[in-house]
Structure 1
Amino acid sequence: MTLDVTPSDVDEDGIRVVRLRRHVPVASVISFPAWGTARRLSILLSTTGATVVSTHTRFFPMSYVGLRAARLAGIPVIHTEHGAGFVRTPSRVIQLASRLVDLSVGRTVLRRAAAVLAVSAPVAEFVSALARRESVIFPNALRMEDWPAFADDAPPTGIAFIGRLVGGKGWEEFVDVAATLLTEPEFDGLQVHMLGDGPDRENLRTRIRSRGIDGSIHLYGHADTAVIRSVLHGSVLVNPSRLAEGFQITLLEAAASGAQIVSFPVPSVAPIRADGGPVREVRELSLQPLIDGVRDALRRPLPAMPRPVLEAHWAWASRAREYLAIVSRLHGGDTMQTPGAPTRPEDVTGRE
């Protein structure tokens, strides 16, 4: 159940997807359901025989609505948290408003859920700080059938940015990296790809023109998995995000595509690098070290993550089994509310 411009109730790949009409959209990120949605959803949950409700990200209105609907229907909620801190944005108004939401609605969602899953260790730490409760570390994963093994291991010939065009995501730094490298004879034929859309779209075009590289950057807007996979293979993914990222699936997609990765410090860097992902972390959050990291990745690519490791640790097939084990634990009467350090999925499932 989600919100959209046009309401619908359809079957997608065997999954019933209910889209409710959204109201009062804010910055193309948050919107609100109609008044009374929680009660109507509780009736739907009861009549369909639902046994667990899953919500995502503590400050989205539908997380709170889902929590209320589930409680009215007497159904446990598993909440998955994706944020590693309070919202970071250049807008002080949005910062203040989002923090107020976190300290009220967000904290309520985290405290009242039967279980909280955190997509990374920093997210689990944030959950503990905000709600004073434990969580299970439950990282993102990939549908391996969408990310087949690549046939060659050719050196990268391009750079890529994938993400929403919003302040703090790093699109400005990416354009500046591209503008610098394109002036160097060594990278004269460099392919530059930008995938994503958002409210800063026109600001992006203006910056590209001001750097004199409007004929050298491919702008894709929103892109499907096939396009993302094609662009990443043979590229360096540049990730200059300064946001409170939880676990950026893009870095995992890059590893699955054989791409090199150059990133500012974000939670997904450490576990992907620990599993052999070709990641360079730029700890100094400034332009020149980022350029140096990208240049080094183009010249001296690191070995790709071994395919057996990718399939063993980062496939939804295994992650889904972990999720079902958590559901079974809840139905067995475990409230998973005991304060303490965050646990890992294997602590719940017994997987080594």
Structure 2
Amino acid sequence: MNETVPGSVTIVTQTRVQPGSEEAFAAWQEETSLFIARLPGFLGQTVMRPSPPAQVDWVILQRFVSSAAAIGWLNSPERLARITGAQPMLVGRDDIHIVPDGSSGVLPSPVSAVISTRIKPGQEPAYRDWELRMASAQSRAKGFQGYRFEPPIPGVQDDWLSILRFDSEANLQTWLDSPERQALLAEAEPFTQEFHARVARSGFDQWFVSPEKGQSALPAWKQNMIVLLLLYPVVYLFGIAVMNPLLLGWAGLALPIALFIANVASICALNYLVPWTSQRFSWWLNPAPPSRGKELLGVAIHVAIYAALIAAFTLLR
């Protein structure tokens, strides 16, 4: 999903699934992924599962070499037939937008808000002036990382699209709920026909191998298991080899300072260890085709290593 292609675009789809239909929708999405991977002009796809409470929607990012290729997929009989089959599993309408790719990317960041706004006819100049004030205000918000603003695409999407990028869910939510933003939203009511925002988040994506073309995004719980697999021994060994004898003993540092240094060292180590380890577990992180047996085997291996580490470190005491 990171390759740069001049003129490429991303279809951003956000959809909400009926409770109890999650597995059926996941299977439907997997079939759709396999189909779309064969299309001409398709570059790659990322599927982000819900991560409540912040993100309750499925977020699907599909990259194409051009707007024409993306629109061709959106209007294709094959897609329309698949969407019709999925309707009983969904709640409400999907949010679908085409966003030109740029240096700042589309999604994901640590957390993003995708905001759709439909403007009353003839009110576009007023909306643009208002959007400039909103952009200025949100750029001063704590944790703000970036902003994309896209106008409607005639015949494809009627809404104006804003994508806000923040460093954490807490900072994003603080801005979304802030009195300053609420006051600006009230100013927009006279020229706004419809408005809503949806949140999308990601986990440790920068540490893991990007999914292959047509594959879904790496499941967050698998990423977490690998991070735990490496974080536990790194923290323990750094503690007994460096923090206790050197930072606390020889240097006489206070515990909070020593712990901070230990955390910095651990994160730096994970930047190298997690990508290397994820390569070795690629057969489990995102198997193609999906395999229940591989999934259970990977979990069993992780649990066995966890137990072995606990036993080994207990003997070292």
TM-score (norm 2): 0.26
Higher relative contact order (CA 8 A, sep 6+): 2
Greater gyration radius: 2
Query: TM-score with structure 1 length normalisation?
Result: 0.24
- Structure in which a larger fraction of residues adopt helix: 2
